[in-house]
Structure 1
């Protein structure tokens, strides 16, 4: 059998796939033209900032702590351990004594792959940051009209929010000047952080060299810091060289038999591409798939119970309840555990949940979650399961229904998802982990 792939006549596939198997057309290849252009001088500066603990309130946690390349640009945990934790990745502990964590981060730390693409318009699991004119600064964000102007991308705007999140990087009230400022107003902490960075002589020189409009270190603001962070992440974690990408570009030998069958299922019978669509393998919309709830949840300001209502927390619309943003899938093999709260540790598990959400919800066990031991939080971790009314509300919202697949077909889907893993982009990123950072603080390696 031969078929045309975006105008290129392909050779016979390794496995025959009938035309009727394709319910959704394959996307065009992801290419360099699909990415925003960023300044490499700024990216080199952003590399240092990304791994530098100077950006946290107590100078004890960096962006890389929860988004580390050793763990697929995530942390390997279901729910992250931020301020107060000790260690890295799945081995990170919840801390001890007065410095121990006060709350788990309510949602899974997402991977950072391909966040510099032009098509990307929405970030965070609940979409609370998006490109929009809502506040006349280019973005709809938690900072509303207090978000400064001048960000070079959606990714840059995103970068400023973990810095001022209490349980992620800023710390608790009365611990440091950053945390104290945030409790006055969200934008009050950013000038303090910018000054903390720019008074380090090496950083001051680097900002002057990297930004044409910066003549002296005193001009550096949180915007330049965020733009450097975005430039680094966008260039460092750009992935478009997976076997699937090579296949889309015309190399029909790039996928083996199982991967080819899995691709046919993904774009056909299994209906995965109804949401994981387009070049980014995400429709950037929100869907309720009934993942097992646990943890503190990202509650709305006046929610009287432990829960996570997803998109509704941002929109305040009932129809958005329990819906979460469709993740992009490049390098998904590297970014376990899966789901907005990391409910499943394997690709097999999250696939099976999509195929039978209610059955998998009933069978799910708490020990499936990767949650570092924190006995003082145990009463909260699975409290939602004892709330019959909340669990009933959760069960009413489903945007997916059962799909019957054989065991071999599930294995083929797993094989296809593994074919989304980059090769050179993963093995040899442009910058890597710096040996040291200008603050002199330890680097997570």
Structure 2
């Protein structure tokens, strides 16, 4: 071997862009939980069926629609009491909403991965091997067993929310059970929903075909419903065929501007500090100074409109105003951005994130809010100087201000995360559902 070859190789390695050292491994089939075609098909019907909501008027697809990148295209949704989809959703004069949903509806891409550690903006549902169920949730020891995955366990909670799917107070048998704290057990809200589904012959037949225990005579439980929905979400919106994925697999280079953006993303801009791995999230929690708007994530007896984020789960002061790092998969299709949807423009949000303290000082409203006049001003927390000061004080990430040219390059890189196959979905929206109820299209 020539004596200078090792030295030349070392110089070449040092000269490589920073992103070459931190580029994540590509996703493979081994990263995802397998599901049968029959289970996925059953989950598709359940996902789009409003039978799961208290008043039979909202499905999972109402707020997680492929038309809006598996979210709903607005900052804060109108759930129960709303009519229509996305930005066109509006109050039902015969059943007015009580308030907006307090947090932005997240996208559903790649939630079927095996290494899924937490869900919701505050991570209040987490994988926890020390728990009998395998999960830590707000129900603590009342949490039932039978969930196949964390994604499955997550689906149990929107159906319990009066503002999301359950309905309010005495509107139906589900909302009554929620109101009185009857969530689990034979008379609990979940089993009442399961009984509704089991009473539909087509569902009973499909569940019996998919799950052998039900075929053998066991009753359908809500855990079975949530397992099927999780199988569908995992299959339908798996995202690993974007230009980014071809780049990770060494199949094709990124376009020059996107490659410059990748160098910044994985280098001096510091984006990959939190947006790491093949999903571009560390699945952790960070206070990034994102503005607060809407009713806030508070208890019903509280009068403020704050959202303290992760601290509500951990009670640790250092978790104040910290929220889960979102995946950036298909991020160009999932506006608005932030836990409360404070930004409708991705480039503006990228600039904000690069220097959140300065961004918070300069923030002007750019949210997308469905027509609705809430009892409390949507912008009360945003316009409260003491709340802005507290949000800013919680920021721990160093600032990396971007030039316009750098922001343009990073935007080109983010565009390479767009996966048309995943955005369109694989099975799509069914023509009908077994309940016969209307489908949001």
Shift of 1:303: 4.6
Measured at CA, do residues 215 and 139 of structure 1 come closer, stay the same or move farther in structure 2, by a change above 3 Å?
same
> Could you say what secondary structure the match of 2:67 adopts?
helix
In the TM superposition, 1:144-155 aligns within 5 A as 144-155=140-151
Measured at CA, do residues 216 and 183 of structure 1 come closer, stay the same or move farther in structure 2, by a change above 3 Å?
farther
CA contact (8 A) 2:64 2:105 kept: yes
Q: Deviations over 1:257-276 (max 9, x none)?
A: 11111111100011000000
Normalised by the length of structure 1, the TM-score is 0.92
Relative to structure 2, which stretch is displaced further, 57-66 or 39-48?
A: 39-48
Shift of 1:111: 0.3
> Could you say what secondary structure the match of 2:126 adopts?
strand
Measured at CA, do residues 385 and 432 of structure 1 come closer, stay the same or move farther in structure 2, by a change above 3 Å?
closer
In the TM superposition, 1:71-110 aligns within 5 A as 71-96=68-93, 98-110=94-106
CA contact (8 A) 2:19 2:262 kept: no
- Name the structure 2 match of 1:162: 158
- Name the structure 1 match of 2:370: 372
**Of residues 413, 419, 422 in structure 2, which corresponds to 1:422?**
419
- Name the structure 1 match of 2:10: none
Shift of 1:299: 1.7
- Name the structure 2 match of 1:65: 62
- Name the structure 1 match of 2:280: 281
Shift of 1:180: 0.5
Measured at CA, do residues 325 and 24 of structure 1 come closer, stay the same or move farther in structure 2, by a change above 3 Å?
farther
> Could you say what secondary structure the match of 1:219 adopts?
coil
Question: What is the alpha-carbon distance in structure 1 between the residues aligned to residue 124 and residue 21 of structure 2?
Answer: 29
- Name the structure 2 match of 1:244: 244
In the TM superposition, 1:259-270 aligns within 5 A as 259-270=258-269
CA RMSD of aligned residues (A): 1.9
> Could you say what secondary structure the match of 1:99 adopts?
coil
CA contact (8 A) 1:299 1:313 kept: no
Shift of 1:152: 0.8
In the TM superposition, 1:375-390 aligns within 5 A as 375-377=373-375, 379-390=376-387
Gaps of 5+ in 1: 1-16
Question: What is the alpha-carbon distance in structure 2 between the residues aligned to residue 305 and residue 128 of structure 1?
Answer: 21
> Could you say what secondary structure the match of 1:233 adopts?
helix
CA contact (8 A) 2:89 2:371 kept: no
Aligned pairs, number? 425
Question: What is the alpha-carbon distance in structure 1 between the residues aligned to residue 108 and residue 175 of structure 2?
Answer: 26
Q: Deviations over 1:73-124 (max 9, x none)?
A: 000000111111010112111332x411101101000000000001111111
CA contact (8 A) 1:40 1:231 kept: no
> Could you say what secondary structure the match of 1:284 adopts?
coil
CA contact (8 A) 2:89 2:370 kept: yes
Measured at CA, do residues 404 and 393 of structure 1 come closer, stay the same or move farther in structure 2, by a change above 3 Å?
closer
Normalised by the length of structure 2, the TM-score is 0.92
- Name the structure 2 match of 1:32: 29
Relative to structure 2, which stretch is displaced further, 432-441 or 127-136?
A: 127-136
Q: Deviations over 1:405-430 (max 9, x none)?
A: 22111011011101001133334x33
CA contact (8 A) 1:66 1:80 kept: yes
CA contact (8 A) 2:155 2:226 kept: yes
Shift of 1:321: 0.2
In the TM superposition, 1:160-239 aligns within 5 A as 160-185=156-181, 186-187=183-184, 188-215=188-215, 219-239=219-239
Relative to structure 2, which stretch is displaced further, 278-287 or 56-65?
A: 278-287
Shift of 1:215: 2.2
Question: What is the alpha-carbon distance in structure 2 between the residues aligned to residue 355 and residue 184 of structure 1?
Answer: 45
Measured at CA, do residues 196 and 217 of structure 1 come closer, stay the same or move farther in structure 2, by a change above 3 Å?
farther
Question: What is the alpha-carbon distance in structure 1 between the residues aligned to residue 296 and residue 15 of structure 2?
Answer: 44
Q: Deviations over 1:294-331 (max 9, x none)?
A: 11111257655210000011111111000000011111
Q: Deviations over 1:168-192 (max 9, x none)?
A: 0000001000001012223220010
Q: Deviations over 1:238-283 (max 9, x none)?
A: 0101101001101233x21111111111000110000001122111
Question: What is the alpha-carbon distance in structure 1 between the residues aligned to residue 126 and residue 244 of structure 2?
Answer: 28
Q: Deviations over 1:351-396 (max 9, x none)?
A: 0111121222222223x1111121243x331121354333322221
Gaps of 5+ in 2: 1-13
CA contact (8 A) 2:70 2:423 kept: no
1:411 equivalent to 2:408? Answer yes
Measured at CA, do residues 182 and 356 of structure 1 come closer, stay the same or move farther in structure 2, by a change above 3 Å?
same
CA contact (8 A) 1:306 1:380 kept: no
